[in-house]
A and B are shown apart, each in its own frame.
Chain A
């Protein structure tokens, strides 16, 4: 407990943008075949430092087979609401779930270069206390730490629907399930909220048998992956509305509400439209009567390609689908970054008018049947995937792996974990930084990035930036 609020907690997104820039990044490393333990890499992102662009510390876990994916902080700017009663928490611990093992690690990063394991929650405890499995997205909120899961009970995670559970934000004890009335929600992926307006939005990927051993092409073509987003009364823990985006919009993944809580809209990325292989972004918003609506506002076309250049999975389509696998919104709610993991592109859209996004920047890197090289001449494995934006919106970082078994299906010949950064121009535009190219140790791939002091997909703000 601090005597003053943690200096990295900011009342508004604007104040967070004005805070000092990040000097360190935390990036997850995963061993795709489970032969080695997964780890957390601490990366120096301070351009003035001698070790800029290097891994300066690693925390290697004591188990194998966890498969690290997403992670988050124990506390963030959401603590600055008197309603939470947590104003004096420290932003000190990273909560890292293993989506294959269901084990959860709590890493103490108070001294980032000496980051160490603080606590391990074994899978049995997660199963026993929640009935859920395969923990995924972490957000700190009013009642503590919220953790979304991808699986229900049973060995294959299909015994009951997946959902969200709550952890105590001081002891890291699992408190139990979040949902009181889940309505028709039976799959899960991401979630986020608008705290003063008291609503939450959740999305759907698929059930564990649909992703753990690779993408199931028959299920995809039969539109059996998730295609709905759910709106919840956050504090009543009740699903108040489900919007089916349309069954062809397969895998509605990342949910990115506007950071400024006075704005009542947000975005959701859809991996693939099975009617035309397009990638899509939906804008959702709350209407005056309190109900929600969603509309497709961005489409990204597939690129025709000869079958001989394509992996077996895509040969029949003779095209490279964009595969919108991650999106992220800058803290000023101005730019939406869209990772096209199939094409090998990172797009930047000006979403000042959320109903009419405009493409303002684009970087080509990696990609199926294209493999664009980095401007520094190095080969980039796979394609831009998990993206994170600096608080000031001037730098965009990303890594390259999607998910172990899916990487192998879409990029059978690639290997390696990498992290790059692009500078954002004054009036938009994206340019890769030639001097920043992190290569993770042999045998590791890389996934989500968290920036020291918070970033654009961790902190929830309780006050508008006026």
Chain B
């Protein structure tokens, strides 16, 4: 498998990881469907969660796209991004309290909640090293492409990464929600919910460390 393919699979895997975690919102889709007694509310809620998540991915990835325009600093940017991800992981490792402002978001505004939850937990940041890695493979393939073309291709990759990740997240989270709603019942919720706070912090550190290793 090429590096690029492996990195794209990492984008998909992180999407599934975010999707199946109840903390990222799929139980809210079950709740919406049961409250409204309507299956379509489940899909609407999953859609709102996806929209918020996609926006959060974009909000994190695009600033890096802009930074990559300064092509000669690509290497430094990758190191800085890796350090940032490791830093967030370390912080979340020691500070496992969830931000209280998230509890102020009304249940009717799922997209906003999903956006804020993804931002607060560094879900977007986790993708940055992977994204930069993919950009590097393209860059190497293209050789010394014109700045304009490079910018376009890195922007396209950012869109691609955000979309593929969110699609994987939405499908896996949606399947969980649908399965619980139609077959498993809500007992499954407390049975399938694991405290991933520590694993989450460690995954950030791991992703950052691999990226740092590759950059150096």
Contacts and interface: CB of A to CB of B under 8 A. Distances in A.
Contacts of A1: 96, 195, 197
B186 A87 contact: no
B189 A85 contact: no
Main secondary structure of the interface of B (DSSP, over half): helix
Interface string B10-38: 00000000000011111110110011010
Contacts of B107: 81, 83, 195-198
Interface residues of B, number: 34
A302 interface: no
Given A11-B189, A85-B102, A198-B106, A3 B195 contact: yes
Contacts of A143: 100, 103-104
Contacts of A85: 23, 98-100, 102-103
A82 B190 CA distance: 11
Interface string A1-18: 111110101111001000
A466 interface: yes
Interface string A184-210: 000000000001111000000000000
A142 interface: yes
Contacts of B30: 463
Nearest to A11: B186
Interface string B93-116: 000111110111111100001000
A262 B34 contact: yes
B190 A80 contact: yes
B34 A464 contact: yes
A29 interface: no
Interface in A54-86: 80-86
Contacts of A53: none
B215 to A, nearest CB: 33
A80 B195 contact: no
A94 B106 CA distance: 28
Main secondary structure of the interface of A (DSSP, over half): loop
B172 to A, nearest CB: 15
B144 interface: no
B106 A82 contact: no
Interface residues of A, number: 37
A151 interface: no
Contact of A196 (B24, B31, B96, B102): B31
B193 A261 contact: no
Contact of B28 (A81, A88, A262): A81
A356 interface: no
Contacts of A170: 97
A81 B186 CA distance: 12
B67 to A, nearest CB: 31
B194 A82 contact: no
Given A81-B28, A85-B102, A236-B106, A10 B35 contact: no
Contacts of A9: 190
A90 B23 CA distance: 17
B152 to A, nearest CB: 37
A336 to B, nearest CB: 23
Nearest to A261: B35
Interface in B1-60: 22-28, 30-31, 34-35, 37
Contact of A4 (B23, B105, B106, B194): B194
B103 A84 contact: yes
A303 interface: no
A86 B194 contact: no
Contact of A464 (B23, B28, B35): B35
A462 interface: yes
Interface in B176-198: 186-187, 189-190, 193-195, 197
A80 B27 contact: yes
Interface string A277-296: 00000000000000000000
A144 interface: yes
B28 A82 contact: yes
Given A1-B195, A198-B108, A235-B106, A463 B96 contact: no
A286 to B, nearest CB: 13
Given A81-B107, A196-B35, 13 more contacts: A1-B197, A11-B187, A80-B27, A80-B190, A83-B28, A83-B113, A84-B103, A87-B22, A87-B195, A144-B100, A196-B107, A235-B103, A466-B34
| A-B interface, 3 closest residue pairs, ranked by CB to CB distance from nearest | A85-B98, A11-B186, A142-B103
Interface of A: 1-5, 7, 9-12, 15, 80-88, 142-144, 170, 195-198, 233, 235-236, 261-262, 462-464, 466
20 contacts: A1-B195, A4-B193, A5-B190, A11-B187, A11-B190, A12-B186, A15-B186, A80-B190, A81-B107, A86-B98, A88-B197, A144-B103, A170-B97, A198-B107, A262-B34, A463-B30, A463-B31, A463-B34, A464-B31, A466-B37
